[in-house]
Amino acid sequence: MMNLENMGNAEIQKDLGRRLQRERLNQNITQADLAERAGISRRTLVAAEKGQGTTLETFICILRALGRLGQLDQFLPEPPVSPIELAKLKGKVRQKASRKIRYPLPSDTAWTWKEDE
């Protein structure tokens, strides 16, 4: 198992491409046949297998054609809702992240006392 945290994006793409190719070969499917099943061009499949970048949609099409779409659930499982957040939000599920407050304030914001009127 590799440590993805220590790899660059290009290295990860190449490894994912190598894995796609290995799965295709394990299933004894030619590039032309897999490309046809996935509804993509052979050239697009070759680029994906070389790790030369691909869209998420293309990646999903290839996984579906390989019968491995279920692997996406392991790739990024559905995160549970935090019970603490659920209690804070009174049973509602959070829809947006909160904005981070930056301290100290930017230097262009001068802070002054408000004078009594």
Residue 82 lies in a domain: no
pLDDT tens-digit readout, 4-47: 788 899 999 999 999 999 999 999 999 999 999 999 999 999 99
Q: How confident is the model at residue 67 (pLDDT cuts 50, 70, 90)?
A: very high
Let me know: does 75 contact 44? Beta carbons within 8 Å.
no
Residue 103 lies in a domain: no
pLDDT at 76: 79
Residue 21 lies in a domain: yes
Residue 19 lies in a domain: yes
Q: In total, how many domains does the chain have? A: 1
Residue 83 lies in a domain: no
Residue 85 lies in a domain: no
What CATH number does residue 68 fall under?
A: 1.10.260.40
Answer yes or no: is pLDDT of 1 > 60: no
User: Which residues span the domain enclosing 42?
Assistant: 7-75
Residue 105 lies in a domain: no
Residue 28 lies in a domain: yes
